[in-house]
Structure formats: C-alpha cells, structure tokens
Amino acid sequence: MGGVKCLVWDLDNTLWQGTLLEDGEVRFAEELRAVVLELDARGILQSVASKNDHDLAWAQLEKLGLAEYLVVPQIGWGPKSDSIRRIAEELNFAVSTIAFIDDQPAERAEVAFHLPQVRCYEAEQALELTGLAEFTPAQVTADSARRRPMYQENARREAARGEYTGPDEEFLRSLAIEMTIVRATGEQLARVEELTLRTSQMNATGVHYGQDALAALLADPGHEVLVVTMADRFGEHGAVGIVLLEKHPGVWRLKLLATSCRVVSFGAGAVLLRWLTDQAAAASVHLAADFRRTDRNRIMEVAYRFAGFEDVACDCLAALPEPDAEGVQRLHIEPAAQPEPTTMRLHAPQLSRAGREAS
C-alpha cells in the first residue's frame, strides 16, 4: 500500500478525552495538536467521522482551534464506514489512501468490514502516527505543504458551482481559469515525482518516475518534461499535471500524462490532450500515447478516446522503444488540428519538431 492521503479522526476519547454529550466539557492534549499540525505540514489531509451532535461538536473544534485543519467533516449518527466513504468521494481519493483512528474496537471493526482497504488505528496510537512510514512522505514539496488550503479553496469553488444556475460551461468561464505549461526545472522534480505517485484517476499508465529518472529525461534533448499549473479567481491550484514526451522523427511518444484529481472536473486532461495534438499537428508529426488500464483511470481512457486516439496499427509505432511497463498499449492519432480550448486561458511553449527549442 502507498502512503496515507487523509487521516479521519473520531472525536470522543480519540481526538479529545471525554464524551461531549455526556460530560459537557472535554480535555484536549496539546501533544495531539502537535500531531495534527505536523500531519498538516506534511500535506496529509485530516477529517472527522464522529457520532455526535454536529453543531455542538463543531463549536468545540472551533474553540480548540482545530476546525480549520479538518476538511469535509462528517458529524452525525450514521455508520462510520458511510462517513469515510463520503470523505473519500468528496476528496476524490481511493479509499485505500484513507486512514481511520478510533478508540472503539466495534467502530474500527465496522469500518474494516465494509471498507477493508482503509487502515485503522487505535486511539492509543495517536502520538505515534507521525513516526509511521505511511504518514511520512519521502519529501514535502511547496504544493504538498499547501494541500489543505488548496482543497478548502476547491470546496469553495464547488459550493459556488452548486449555486450557479446557468450552464456549466458558463460557470467554468466565470472562474477565469488560467493553465500554464512550462518546461520543468530541477527544483520542480520532487513535485513532478509526487504527481506520478499520487495521481490515479487521470494517470495514463500508473508508472512511477523517480527524481533520478526524471533528471535524466530533463537532460535529454529528445525529451520534454512539462509541468502544468492552474489558477483561478478562488486561488492557485499549484502544480496539477505532468507531461513526459519523447520525440522521434515523424512521431512523438506521450510516455505519461497525469493530472491531479482536484482538476478532473475542469477538464484539464482534455485541454492538455488538445494542446498536445495541436503541437503535433503544427510539427507535422504523428502522436502516440502509452496507456495502461487500471482500476482507477477509466476517465483518462475516455479523455484519450474523445481526443481522437485509437489503438490502431501504424508504421510510425515501429520506431518507438518498448513501453516502460508491462500491459501498456499504444494509442495513436494522425496529425490533425484541434479546436482551441474555450474554458480556460492557456499559456504554453511551442514544441519544435526536432527538440527543445525555446519559443
């Protein structure tokens, strides 16, 4: 299993000591505040699944100064497994990336029965969490340190989207989205590696590229390592995408296209594919894409198909090296201009046919 993306806290006798509805007052250990702050600084999101009166519990969390660190909290009277499932859905996370901590064995057992992929911990382990490997990312990038604020900004976007009464296309235009594509620098490689690890729904192959491998590609004039960032009127999304492109005479190989789950609903993957097909058409080259189907990336396959990619034979594919992993198929598209994107402003380099010429 990979690392934990979100830790879900129980409240009574877990995040605090005491039962709020029975005791009225609860005790909070400052050592636990240090755990909450450290996990937050590492880019691990935190939420709540608690059987409690919502208003009373939330007021207590605000009084303790913890409310701002908790995203999509689930406070009510339903099963904890339902709460955790909703948290995963709202964050667009696989349940295997969720962890749950609770003092009650019965609650942990209920979650483990319905969601066996969720890692469960006893309340007594709370102070040990920051020392566990699954809560310790190899590196903390600038974007991962801002992960909670970015998800909270996204919640405000989605709330505005829910309140908007016009067509979705109009709402997206109202966001004034700007997508920027730049050639990666050495300083960005930690975040690029993180994107190859953390993305799943919009990841074309699921192949992990470490920093050494990425640095080698960066130094090779036959490759493009591109980083995608986005921003809108609600704030910056940070680095949300990675493009690894290998250039050969007459054909470009898209080794990896991956975008964050936070920007799936904005059609970021479709815009990137449209831009890449435009660039290939301008350079008069074929465009081939590596794709490996996983249990999470069906939406990426749909994006490729809508962009015009097909798994058909083409002589140009014979010039390409073997895929970087088993089970990878080659999708292909003829050089053809695509319409310009309409929902966001795009800032991007021009990719030359021969290699890395600055535009």
- Residue 106 buriedness (CB in 10 A; 0-12 / 13-18 / 19+): exposed
Burial 324-353 (b: 16+ CB within 10 A, else e): beeebebbbbebeebeebebbebebeebee
Strands 45-51 and 74-76: parallel
218's CB contacts (< 8 A; 6+ apart) are 184, 186, 189, 225
Distance CA(229)–CA(224), nearest Å, equals 16
Report mean pLDDT in 10-residue bins for the chain, 359 residues: 91 96 90 96 96 96 96 96 96 93 97 97 97 91 82 86 89 91 87 79 83 91 93 87 92 90 83 91 90 85 87 81 85 70 78 60
pLDDT of residue 359: 42
Residue 151 Cα distances to 8, 64, 263, angstroms: 15, 22, 11
pLDDT of residue 207: 84
3-state helix, strand, coil in the chain (%, to 5): 40, 25, 35
**Do residues 121 and 27 touch, judged by C-beta distance below 8 A?**
no
**Dihedral sign, Cα of residue 196, residue 198, residue 199, residue 201:** positive
Map out the domains of the chain with their CATH numbers. Answer: 6-135 (3.40.50.1000), 142-347 (3.40.630.30)
Burial group, residue 209, by CB count within 10 angstroms (0-12, 13-18, 19+) = buried
* Residues 224, 245 contacting (CB under 8 angstroms): yes
CA distance 323 to 255: 8
Do the beta carbons of residue 345 and residue 179 sit within 8 Å? yes
Evaluate if pTM is beyond 0.85.
Answer: no
- pLDDT of res. 216: 93
DSSP at 11: T
Contacts of 139 (CB under 8 A, 6+ apart): 190, 193, 194
DSSP letters spanning 148-177:
HHHHHHHHHHHHHHHH--S-HHHHHHHTTE
pLDDT at position 358, please? 42
Strand order in 119-122's β-sheet? 74-76, 45-51, 6-9, 98-102, 119-122
